Amino acid sequence: MDLSPYYRQIDKLTERIHRLRRDIDKLDDIRYQMQREQQERHQIIERMSASAARFESIPHVKSAKALFDGFRSGMDANLRPHLDENYTKINQQLIRDIFQREDEIMELRKRIARLEEQIAEERELERRRVEREREEREREAAAARRG
């Protein structure tokens, strides 16, 4: 019995798992980069807020600072949950795919093991049959020599 299709399928699934893991790593890199960019934005915003605080005594600067603070809180409130939610969904799907592929590989390995056991049993039966036939021929030859 040829098991190579099963081994090829395991190889394909293993490669798929490696690709999914690389995708997860890329997503982690993107998330890290987004967090770093967000920290940089916060630092810029804090510096701008500090600069604006120096001029708080000027009435039109006070209103500009209030407007800017509103923009900052709106940006964080709107952008971050959306990015985190998308990242989480993609990451969870990739992890589910990896587990599914690993389950498929385990099932294929079990199937291969069962098939290999069947092959071993068939070979053992064939070996016994050949041995019985050989012993039978030897007995017949011995009987023919005696008779």
Write out pLDDT tens, residues 75-93: 555 556 666 677 677 778 8
* Pair of tokens at residue 58: 């000027």
Backbone angles phi, psi at 89, to 5 degrees: -60, -45
Closest CA to 105 of 7, 29, 10, 21: 10
SS3 of 81-105: HHHHHHHHHHHHHHHHHHHHHHHHH
Write out pLDDT tens, residues 97-117: 888 888 888 888 888 888 888
Domain that holds residue 37: 4-146
Q: What is the count of structural domains for the chain? A: 1
pTM across the whole model: 0.42
Inter-residue contact 108 to 10 (CB < 8 Å)? yes
In whole angstroms, give the CA distance from residue 19 to residue 28.
14
Closest CA to 87 of 17, 15, 38, 43: 38
